[in-house]
Amino acid sequence: MESSEKLNQNTLTKPKRIRLRFLFPFLLGALVWSAGCSSFSIDKTLKIKKPKPSDSYTRGIAYYLEGFFESAVIELKNVPADHPNFLRAKKYLQRAEKRVEHVQTHEKAALNFRGKKQLLDALNEVEKALKAYPKNRRIHRLFADLNQDIETEFNQNFRKGRENFNQESYEKAKIAFRKAQQFKPEHKPTLEYLFKTENRLLERYQYEGRVLLKNGDLDSALESFELAHKMKPGHPGIKAQLVNTYNSRALKNYREEKLNEAVDDLQRSLEINSHQESIKKQLQQIEKRILQLKKITP
């Protein structure tokens, strides 16, 4: 009895499974068909909504408003005289041509500066051109090229300055670091090297001046002290060395009857330090003597 009951249950449930199997392909087909219909309707709508081609006037105005002035000039020049918006097109054409001309002027100046290796001046001209025509691809390429040139020049000068510094060629190092600083004024390593270089130079000029002065070479000593004074005009020690050396040479020239040379030295000494009352009196005495000698000389 139990086996017969199980058999009856199987026979009852089996037809339901068969029905589901048969229904599945029909459902899948219906889904595919509905998807095809929807894509067909989308294609149909797209074809219906396809925009009509615009004329030169519409394209020209659109280019101008988007900032593509060269393209605007090309299109607006082709607007026929019988077009209903011809006068408006002419006004926009003049504006676009003015922008293009302005950019071309700055571009030409930038290329000229670049040829002379005046890269910062060239960059300044390109920035003016970009301000007038921000979407000009040619100017953007030139801007990128100039920045690359500047980076190359900076790296070369910085490397050269560092090499000269390590070789204790401080004059050459200073020149190279100054050039590098022009391209990157806030570059910290350049500023640090420049500070060290100038300090080394200052020490060297002072040391050389003292040695030359000790050896009695007043002319060469004054050259070294003048270089140090040029670097640090307000340095009290350098000013004192310079004044004393000029006064010493003035005395030497006076003893050798080189009165005009003595006057020049004392005047330079007073330029550096005007509070030398005794030197002022000596200068007056020498100038009086020169006048007396001129009267005596036939």
Q: Which residue has the higher pLDDT, 12 or 114?
A: 114
Confidence band of 6 (pLDDT split at 50, 70, 90): very low
Q: What is the mean pLDDT of residues 132-160?
A: 96
pLDDT value for 36: 55
Question: What is the reported pLDDT for 37?
Answer: 52
Each residue of 165-194: pLDDT tens digit?
999 999 999 999 999 999 999 999 999 999
Domain ranges of the chain: 54-149
How far apart, in whole angstroms, are the C-alpha atoms of residue 13 and residue 189?
88
- Residue 10: other Cβ atoms inside 10 A: 9
- Written as six digits, the tokens of 187 are 């570059």
pLDDT tens digits for 254-263?
999 999 999 9
DSSP characters over 164-225:
HHHTT-HHHHHHHHHHHHHH-TT-HHHHHHHHHHHHHHHHHHHHHHHHHHHTT-HHHHHHHH
Note the CATH number of domain 54-149. 1.25.40
Please, what is the average pLDDT of the chain?
86
